[in-house]
A and B are shown apart, each in its own frame.
Chain A
C-alpha cells in the first residue's frame, strides 16, 4: 500500500501568518484515468475530520479561499495564506488513487 508522509508533524503559527504542510507519497498518485486523487482533511479538536481539498487543488464546498493545494506526482503542499483561529487542528493528506486509501500521519497546527 502507498505510504503517505507529512512534514512537519507540528506547526505553531501566528494568527494572520501563512502556514504550509507537505505531503509525500511512496509512489506516484497519478491514476490510470489521468487524475491525481490527493485530498486534504481537517480535523478540529473533538470533531470528526472534514474534507478540505480534493484532487490536489480543488476546495470542497464552503472551504475558504485562504486554503490552497498544489503539487504533482509524489509531492504535494497545503497552504493557508493567513491563519485564523478556526484553522487550528490536525491536517491529514489522504491518497485515493490506489486502494486501500491511506492517510498521512497528520500535522498539528496550533496558534503560537
Chain B
C-alpha cells in the first residue's frame, strides 16, 4: 500500500524557516516524480513545486510565489522528500501535501501538514 506521511509543520514567525518532510513507502520512491501542493485555509489547491526522479534528470521546478525562498530535495536512500521553506510570509500559511505523480496524475497524496506563519 502506498503511503505518504508529511511532518515538520508548525507555527513560525514571518521571516522564519521550516523544513517539511514526506516519508514514502509502498512504491519505488527513487523512480517517482514528486510534488508539493498547498492549500490555504478555506481555499483551493496550489502547486508549489516538483522534483523529477534522478534517473529522469532530477529537474526541480517551483511556482512563482515560492521561487527563491523554497527548496525541494529528496533522499532516495531514505525514501524521503523535503521542502525547505525560508523567508516565510503570512500568505504561506497552508496545509502542505506531498503527492506522487504517475501517468500525468497525482495518484497518491499524503494527509498534509499545517504550516502557520504568524507573529
Contacts and interface: CB of A to CB of B under 8 A. Distances in A.
B97 interface: yes
A108 to B, nearest CB: 11
Interface stretch (B8-16, B23-31, B81-89, B101-109): B101-109
Interface string B95-119: 0010000011111011110000000
Interface in A14-56: 35, 37, 39, 41, 48-51, 54-55
Contacts of B45: 41, 49, 92, 94, 103, 106
Contacts of A101: 47
Contact of B104 (A49, A50, A54, A104): A54
B46 interface: yes
B91 interface: no
A105 interface: yes
B61 interface: yes
A78 to B, nearest CB: 15
B109 A49 contact: yes
Q: Which of B46, B63, B104 is most buried by chain A, counting CB atoms within 10 A of its CB?
A: B104
Nearest to A61: B107
Q: Which of under 10, 10 to 19, 20 to 34, or 35 or more describes the interface residues of A?
A: 20 to 34
Contact of B44 (A39, A60, A96, A105): A105
Q: Which of B45, B63, B107 is most buried by chain A, counting CB atoms within 10 A of its CB?
A: B45
Contacts of B103: 54
A51 B109 CA distance: 9
Given A48-B111, A54-B104, A100 B63 contact: yes
B26 to A, nearest CB: 14
Interface string B52-94: 0000000001010000000000000000000000000000000
Lowest 3 A-B CB distances belong to which pairs? A48-B109, A96-B104, A37-B104
11 contacts: A41-B106, A48-B109, A48-B111, A51-B106, A51-B107, A54-B103, A54-B104, A60-B107, A92-B45, A100-B50, A101-B47
